[in-house]
Every structure is written in structure tokens, then in C-alpha cells.
Amino acid sequence: MKGEYAKIAGFAAIALALLVLAPAVLSDFRLSLLGRFVCYAIVAVGIGLAWGRGGMLTLGQGVFFGLGAYVMAMHLKLSDAGPTGVPDFMKLYGSGVVPGWWEPFRNPVVTVLAIVLVPSLVAFGLGMAVFRRRVRGAYFAILSQALAAAFAILLIGQQATIGGTNGLNGFRSFFGFNLFDPVNKRMLFYIAAGTLLAMLLVVWQLYRSRYGELLVAVRDQEERVRFLGYDPANVKIVAYVVAAAMAGVAGALFVPIVGIISPAAVGVVPSIAFLIGVAIGGRSTLFGPALGAIAVAWAQTSLSESFPSFWIYFQGALFVLVVAFLPRGLSTVGSILTRRRESA
Amino acid sequence: MKSDYLELTDVRVTFDGFVAVDGVTMTVLQGDLRFLIGPNGAGKTTLVDAITGLVPATGSATFGRTELLNRKVHRIARLGVGRTFQTASVFEELTVLQNLDIAAGSGRGPLTMLRKRSSTPPEVEAALEVIGLTDLRDRQAGVLAHGQKQWLEIGMLLVQDSKVLLLDEPVAGMSAEERQQTGELLQRVGENCTVVVVEHDMDFMRSFATSVTVLHAGRVLSEGTVAQVQADPKVQEVYLGRAEVEA
């Protein structure tokens, strides 16, 4: 019960920091940066669920992030172009005709549904294929990484239909709101922050539920769970699909906040970058992945500003320190100290 | 005659040409505490693996007239066949209560799964009592003593509502006192279940077995009460050895 109160306090503190403190003290530019980090944090919450609690080392979340992002970007391009218009880049590089598979995304409702459903369905299909065949551990990690690489290459090849290496950019409005208006930029930050808080509530409920206990059991002793009458593949698929949906939503919010989505933001490198914050923050804790993701991204930006080529070393050192001394992440410092005090 | 008994007919398991279980036929009745003994490599554990779906086998293994062989592991478990392993394999990061609750829950629907446990299910409460871990219910399973982990495993079989309990060396590494407690626990449990115990410990077998099957090189060498098996010259030859016979 004590743990429950600590979590409520932690949640309230994060909500206060994001919704009250940050908008009050940060400039519009910094707030928009924080909005981008919040998107990473939403991906991180999902990775915490799949990797921290479910033991699935998801090295390819960029795929789901990208699916959500491109769905949103397609909608924004279409709505900028008008009811029957053609997005600008298609006139430049393509035939000047909108491909049939773009058309459904003119509809905002279809877009919002697709942002959640497309990554979920892809993850479900993959999960059925992979977990039922008992692919796991390093094999699963490599497979998901390869998928991210393949996805980025696929996007790069589609210059005429989804912008190739340039990706999709130059959005002017977001569901009717002008994206150049600072007030609307702030609104986007609030939407992202609110989504992150909602995602935290989702995983919180999952962690305290019976499903959460079962997921940990599957992570630690997958075969044993089988002998208790469960199919562990189903248990893992649920966590994987939820994580994918979260990555998709994060991608969709990333697009209007940052103003561009390109293959460089969804491939292997960003997929690994998603993981670093989770590992450093504490992958199996409730708040660790989100806070770690924001902190690492923030440190990267501010350090790169002062020491342009220094960040990569700092990131490496941080990673080594955490893996060597705090394998469960920085959020576990508190509980380690308590344990030490009790045993002393 | 009840149909709730375990019947094996000509069960065979082959690994790349090596015959590990070579046509085992046996029947274990409800209320029986059957010990499965035999030298190393006799196929005891492999036989248990075959019944629980871990290795493919030919022949037939039925419980309550339902065929068990060549089904998926979790389906067999749902049919009421539970097992333990040589090394205790409880979920170490979860509490005793959580371990039992998971074992009790394979039939739960999605809505129940997505909610927090509001109260301890009665069968979990009863199992805690039977295995004597009521006071340790909120302890992490990883910090339990070796014997307590094995009891927790047996408790998990009970809440799983297993009718056939296959126990692979449940008393290995236990103290004499723990063995005694485990044996008594098995006797209590065995009244309503079909229990098969794979065991090396002869003293433990003599104290608690109601019947014994001796495996040797994948075949049934002898079967009967403890006394009958011990008196069997074939058994004495391959397994029990001269010193054991006098006991």
C-alpha cells in the first residue's frame, strides 16, 4: 500500500511538472523541444512494458513509431492540399496523382483510428509469427532490429509516394489549427503531455493487474508458465501490441510538433536511441522509462549545444555506468539505498 | 470404477534414433501414490516430459479417457495434468501469493486479468494452508528455503486443479525433516489425485509409496508394492544392489 501512495505522488509530480511548471518557465522553443522528448517518452513507456516487464528486447520500435508518424503526416499533407488536392511533393517527384492507398487518410477519423490500429495490427501479425514460434532473446532483438532497417529502406525507395529520404514535411495545419501559431504549438505540447500521462496510467493499471503479474512470470520463466495452462505467446503479444500502439501514437504526435518525419527518424539508430533512455531510467519501473527518455534527450540537446561532438562519449559513459552499477536503472537508486540502510 | 486414472499404453520416445522410452505401459489409479524409480537414464523424466507434452511421443496416454499425447503443453495442463521440475522453478520475483494466484488463473477471462486481485481466491487460501506457507504469503518466492519452494510448486499444482500430479524428484536436496513433511503433504494430496513421483531416494520411497514402477532402459522392469518390487530379483540385479535389498 505504501508503494501505491508513492506512485500516486510520483504521478502527481510528473503531471504538475509537465502541465504547470514546464509551460510556465520554458520558452516556446524549449517547450516545443520538450514536446518532442515527451513523444520519445511515450515510446519509452511502451518499451518499459514490453522489455522491462515482458522481457522482449524491442530494438525495432522505430517501425511502429514510423507507421503512426507517416499516417499522421499523410493526413496533414492531404488536408493542407485541400479536399481533392495533391500534396506538393507528389507534383514534384510523382505523377501528380494521389495514390489510392493515400485516399482513406483524408478522413480525420480514419487517420486517428489508423494511428492506433495500423501499428497494433502489424505488431499482432508479427507477434503471432514470432512468439508462437518461440523466437525470443537475442534472436527476437535482431529480428526486430532488422525489421527497422528494412522499414527505413522501404521508405527511402518510395520517393514519389511518401517522399523517400526527404520524408514528409512542410505541414501548415493540424486538424484545422494553424501550425505557425504559437498558441497552437503550446496546445500540441499539452496534447503530448496529456497523452504521456494517460499512457502512464495505462501501464500502471497493467502492472498492478493480474496480467502484469503473469507478464513478469512469463519474462522470468516462460516454459514454466506453459505448464500452468497458459500460452505465453498470447501474454507476450498483448504487451507487444500495446507497446506498438504507444509508439504509433508517439509518432503521430511527433509529426506536428517537429514538423517532419523521414526515414532517418524511424530506422535502426532511432530505434536504439529509444532504448537508451529506458535502460538508464529503469526498464521495469513505472516512471523510469519515461523520465529516462526525457532526461537523456534533454541532456543530449543541451550538451550538444555547448560541446558539439561530446555527447556521444557522455552517452557511452552513462550507459556503461548504468549497466555496471545500476543494471536496473537510475530509478532503482532509492530502493537500493533503502535496502542498504535496512541491512546495515 | 472411476475413469479418473492415468493410463499409459506403449508410450515410446525416440531422440534421433536413441530410444529413451521403449514402450511403457502402466496404469495409475486415483488415490495411488506411485513412485517411478530406476537408474539414471532409465527414461523416468523423459516419460514425464512425454505425458506433459514437452517431447513428442507415440503410443497413448489417457486421463479420464482423454488422449494427452501430441497436444500442446498448455492444453495438457488445462486438462488437469500438472508437473514439477527437478530444480524448483517458481517465479522468484513474485510473492508466494502471486505465484499461487497465477497458477490458479489459466481459465480467467480478459477482464479479470486486467484488474487487480481484490481478494485471495479461496482455493489459493486453502493451498497456502495445505503447504504451510500461509505466514509467508507476501514473501518473495526467491528468498524461500529450498524445501519451501518445492512445497510452493506442489501448492501451485493444487490450485491449478490438477488431477494428475507428476513430481520430478520433489525431495532432492531436502533435509530429513523436510522430506518427512513433503511425504505427509503428498499423502494428503494423493487422496483426491493421481500422483506419480520420480525419485532416487529409496528411504523416502519406502516410507510413502503405495505402489512402485521400476524403469530400466526405457522399459518397465517391475511393478507392485514396495515389498514386491524389492523382492524382485531383476530389480535387485539392475538397480537396488545388494546393500539395499536387506533394508
The answer to whether B94 faces chain A, any CB pair under 8 Å, is: yes
- Residue with the larger pLDDT of the pair B195 and B239: B195
Give the mutation candidate from A225, A227, A231, A237 for the B interface (greatest B CB count, under 10 A). Answer: A227
**In the predicted model, is pLDDT for residue A325 greater than 90?**
no
Percentage above 70 pLDDT, chain B: 95
Q: pLDDT-derived band of residue B244, with 50, 70 and 90 as boundaries?
A: very low
Percentage above 70 pLDDT, chain A: 99
Lowest pLDDT segment from A34-48, A123-137, A311-325, B40-54: A311-325
Q: Measured between CA atoms, how close is B157 to chain A, in angstroms? A: 8
**In the predicted model, is pLDDT for residue B243 greater than 60?**
no
Helices A108-131 and A61-81 pack at an angle, to 10 degrees, of 160
- Please give the DSSP secondary-structure letter assigned to residue B193: S
Lowest pLDDT segment from A18-27, A92-101, A118-127: A92-101
**In the predicted model, is pLDDT for residue A242 greater than 80?**
yes
Give the 3-state secondary structure of residue B155. helix
**In the predicted model, is pLDDT for residue A316 greater than 90?**
no
For residues A145 and A267, the answer to whether their CB atoms sit within 8 Å is: no
Tell me: the pLDDT tens digits for B131-146? 989 999 999 999 999 8
- Tell me whether residue B40 is exposed, middle or buried, using C-beta atoms within 10 angstroms of its C-beta: 0 to 12, 13 to 18, 19 or more: exposed
Question: Which chain A residues touch B78 with a CB distance below 8 Å?
Answer: 229
Over residues A116-145, the mean pLDDT reads: 94
Percentage above 90 pLDDT, chain A: 73
Q: pLDDT-derived band of residue B234, with 50, 70 and 90 as boundaries?
A: confident
Whether ipTM tops 0.95, in short, is: no
Q: pLDDT-derived band of residue A292, with 50, 70 and 90 as boundaries?
A: very high
- Contact criterion met (CB < 8 Å) for B106 and A228: yes
Taking the domains of chain B in order of start, what are their residue ranges? 6-245
Residue of B89, B107, B108 lying closest to A224 (CB–CB): B89
Predicted local confidence at residue B245, as pLDDT = 42
- Residue with the larger pLDDT of the pair A96 and B218: B218
Can you say whether the dihedral through the CA atoms of B122, B123, B126, B132 is positive or negative?
A: negative
Q: Which residues pair with B164 in a beta bridge?
A: B81, B194
Q: Which residues pair with B66 in a beta bridge?
A: B63
Tell me: the pLDDT tens digits for B72-105? 999 999 999 999 988 878 999 999 999 999 999 8
Q: pLDDT-derived band of residue A4, with 50, 70 and 90 as boundaries?
A: confident
- Contact criterion met (CB < 8 Å) for A210 and B82: no
Determine the topology of domain B6-245 in CATH. Rossmann fold (3.40.50)
Over residues B224-228, the mean pLDDT reads: 91
Taking Cα atoms as reference points, which of B43, B84, B48, B86 lies closest to residue B172? B86
Predicted local confidence at residue A335, as pLDDT = 76
Over residues A79-93, the mean pLDDT reads: 88
Taking CA–CA distances from A211, the nearest residue in chain B reads: B113
Percentage above 90 pLDDT, chain B: 56
- Contact criterion met (CB < 8 Å) for B107 and A229: yes
Residue of B82, B91, B117 lying closest to A210 (CB–CB): B117
Over residues A104-128, the mean pLDDT reads: 96
Tell me: the pLDDT tens digits for A256-278? 999 999 999 999 999 988 998 99
- Contact criterion met (CB < 8 Å) for B83 and A227: yes
Predicted local confidence at residue B246, as pLDDT = 42
Taking Cα atoms as reference points, which of B155, B148, B150 lies closest to residue B130? B155
Cα within 13 Å of Cα(B243), Cβ side: 1
**In the predicted model, is pLDDT for residue A232 greater than 80?**
yes
| Greatest mean pLDDT among A41-45, A219-223, A301-305 | A41-45
Predicted local confidence at residue A56, as pLDDT = 94
Residue of B73, B89, B112 lying closest to A221 (CB–CB): B89
Residue A229's alpha-carbon distances to A34, B52, B72, B81, in angstroms, are: 45, 11, 10, 9
Lowest pLDDT segment from A58-62, A291-295, A306-310, B238-242: B238-242
Question: Which chain A residues touch B160 with a CB distance below 8 Å?
Answer: 228-229
- Contact criterion met (CB < 8 Å) for B160 and A213: no
Mean pLDDT of chain B: 88
- Provide the number of CB pairs (under 8 Å) joining chain A to chain B: 72
What value does the CA radius of gyration of chain A take, rounded to a whole number of Å? 20
Taking Cα atoms as reference points, which of A51, A80, A96 lies closest to residue A236? A51
Predicted local confidence at residue A226, as pLDDT = 93
Mean pLDDT of chain A: 92
Lowest pLDDT segment from A9-13, A44-48, B130-134: B130-134
Taking Cα atoms as reference points, which of B91, B97, B72 lies closest to residue A53? B91
**In the predicted model, is pLDDT for residue B1 greater than 80?**
no
Residue of B52, B77, B113 lying closest to A210 (CB–CB): B113
**In the predicted model, is pLDDT for residue B247 greater than 80?**
no
